[in-house]
């Protein structure tokens, strides 16, 4: 049956590309994906597939019920875009100014839609059920996963698998990791309140720019001197604003940054340490401050058995040329929430064509990926899902 599915996927590859390019030309930002959600829902409705809409917001969930008993496997794809101008010179360039699919979510969606079509056509031969989760708002916290889970997208699900097209790795490669694979992603915001004045008379001011600069330097000691070196962590300030004329010392400065961690204890520690450093810096300068810390997605922590299952069968997948353990990634992903509720694994599918020597990274205005990788991803999701169903159906028969 697997060969039958692989053949059907290959025959529908042009359709997969067509869907991906349509979505690429009509991107929608997180929490605004009304037309995209409608497109996905109509795709399944036209096939006669059971579908729920407005799941936890703009989410869409399709269910394909096999005729034979077996576990229920969930597969997930996200479909939101980013606030970036598309600078590629391609026929399928975004038609929406300032918005583009710069992370591969259009490819994830096209992959799962066509896979869903094939599974639906073969439902009478399926051992178990498939829940196809099309998730909105992955790019922007609080994300769509948590609200979709609350709205029941995982009800009755035994396991979940997901993949991310990875444009910096060769097409045909699969990257996996047991345990933490992507970091918790938090946001902090600091406002330092000094006392402004004339640029020629700094002694009569409390220079918020200097104080903020000192705070940024002091901040670097948290990871290097307060966090256990065995634990990975990142603190980065990405925005620094102090609006004034060139000859005016600003009375306030605003900083916005991100914290990335894998360990929840380290996450707690850094949240507290940032304020300690901030308070100490401001006391020294006789300034005041405001501090906000927003927790984003938790770390993506893959389950051992499901990850090992992927590794075991990966080289049997047509189109897969290599499988390797990846280093933990400091990027965030709200797939983490699914793995807190059911077992599963999240892996990367390489999407860099052979002729591309220096691929543009994810979230870049010229980002693109090798569309052949969608076919590899569809086959990988199919193979690991079937392997799980076969393994657990066998366990049930033993009981």
Single pTM value for the model = 0.94
Q: If pLDDT is split at 50, 70 and 90, which confidence band does 395 have?
A: low
CB distance 79 to 31 below 8 Å: no
Structure confidence at residue 399 (pLDDT): 47
Is pLDDT at 242 greater than 70 in this prediction?
yes
Q: If pLDDT is split at 50, 70 and 90, which confidence band does 243 have?
A: confident
DSSP assignments along 83-131, one per residue: S------STT--SSTT-B--SSHHHHHHHHHHHHHHHHHTGGG-EEEEE
Q: Which fold has domain 2-182+299-398?
A: Aminopeptidase (3.40.630)
Give the pLDDT mean for 188-214: 97
Average pLDDT, the chain: 97
| Half-sphere exposure of residue 67: CA atoms within 13 angstroms, side-chain side | 7
| Domain boundaries 184-294, corresponding CATH code | 3.30.70.360
CB distance 234 to 329 below 8 Å: no
Torsions phi, psi for 382 (to 5 deg): -60, -50
Torsions phi, psi for 205 (to 5 deg): -125, 175
Q: Which of 164, 178, 165, 159 is nearest to 324 (CA)?
A: 178
Structure confidence at residue 199 (pLDDT): 96
What residue segments make up the domains of the chain, in order of their start? 2-182+299-398, 184-294
What is the C-alpha to C-alpha distance for residues 190 and 221, in angstroms, rounded to an integer? 17
Q: Hunting for tokens 């169903």 — which residue is that?
A: 389
What is the C-alpha to C-alpha distance for residues 350 and 385, in angstroms, rounded to an integer? 19
Q: Which residues are catalytic?
A: 80, 138
SS3 3: helix
Give the pLDDT mean for 30-47: 98
CB distance 371 to 225 below 8 Å: no
Is pLDDT at 99 greater than 70 in this prediction?
yes
> How many CB atoms sit inside 10 A of residue 185's CB?
23
Q: Which of 165, 140, 145 is nearest to 20 (CA)?
A: 165
Q: Which of 324, 375, 313 is nearest to 118 (CA)?
A: 375
Rounded to 5°, the CA angle 49-50-55 comes to 125
Strand-pair category, 300-302 with 179-182? antiparallel
Strand-pair category, 288-294 with 184-193? antiparallel
What is the C-alpha to C-alpha distance for residues 68 and 262, in angstroms, rounded to an integer? 40
CB distance 392 to 69 below 8 Å: no
CB distance 174 to 281 below 8 Å: no
Is pLDDT at 392 greater than 90 in this prediction?
no
Q: Which of 236, 254, 241 is nearest to 186 (CA)?
A: 236
Tell me whether the CATH fold assigned to 2-182+299-398 matches the one assigned to 184-294. no
Q: Hunting for tokens 């980002």 — which residue is that?
A: 367
Strand-pair category, 343-352 with 159-170? parallel
> In percent, how much of the chain has pLDDT > 90?
97
What is the C-alpha to C-alpha distance for residues 255 and 98, in angstroms, rounded to an integer? 24
């Amino acid at each position: 049956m697997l060969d039958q599915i692989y053949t059907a996927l290959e025959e529908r590859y042009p359709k997969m590309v067509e869907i991906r390019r349509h979505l690429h030309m009509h991107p929608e930002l997180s929490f605004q994906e009304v037309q995209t959600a409608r497109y996905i829902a109509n795709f399944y409705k036209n096939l006669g597939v059971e579908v729920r809409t407005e799941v936890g917001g703009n989410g869409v969930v399709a269910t394909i019920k096999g005729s034979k008993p077996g576990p229920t496997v969930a597969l997930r794809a996200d479909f939101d875009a980013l606030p970036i101008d598309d600078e590629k010179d391609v026929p399928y360039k975004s038609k929406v100014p300032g918005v583009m699919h710069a992370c591969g979510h259009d490819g994830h969606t096209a992959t799962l839609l066509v896979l869903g079509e094939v599974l639906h056509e073969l439902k009478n031969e399926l051992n178990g059920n498939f829940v196809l989760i099309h998730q909105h708002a992955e790019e922007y916290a609080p994300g769509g996963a948590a609200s979709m889970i609350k709205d029941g997208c995982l009800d009755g699900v035994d396991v979940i698998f997901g993949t991310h097209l990875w444009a910096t790795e060769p097409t045909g490669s699969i990257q996996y990791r047991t345990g933490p694979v992507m970091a918790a992603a938090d946001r902090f915001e600091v406002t330092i309140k000094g006392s402004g004045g004339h640029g020629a008379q700094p002694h009569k001011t409390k220079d918020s720019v200097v104080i903020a600069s000192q705070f940024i330097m002091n901040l670097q000691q948290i990871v290097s001197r307060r966090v256990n070196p065995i634990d990975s962590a990142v603190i980065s300030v990405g925005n620094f604003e102090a609006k004034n004329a060139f000859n005016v010392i600003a009375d306030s400065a605003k900083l916005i940054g991100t914290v990335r961690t894998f360990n929840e204890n380290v996450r707690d520690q850094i949240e507290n340490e940032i304020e300690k450093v901030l308070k100490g810096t401001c006391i020294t300068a006789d300034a005041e401050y405001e501090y906000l810390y927003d927790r984003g997605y938790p770390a993506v922590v893959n389950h051992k058995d499901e990850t090992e299952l992927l590794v075991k069968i990966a080289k049997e997948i047509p189109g897969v040329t290599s499988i390797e353990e990846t280093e933990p990634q400091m990027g965030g992903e709200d797939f983490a929430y699914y793995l807190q509720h059911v077992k599963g694994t999240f892996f990367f599918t390489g999407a860099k064509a052979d002729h591309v020597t220096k691929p543009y990274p994810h979230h870049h205005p010229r980002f693109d990926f090798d569309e052949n990788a969608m076919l590899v991803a569809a086959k990988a999701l199919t193979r690991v899902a079937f392997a799980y169903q076969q393994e657990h159906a066998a366990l049930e028969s033993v009981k």
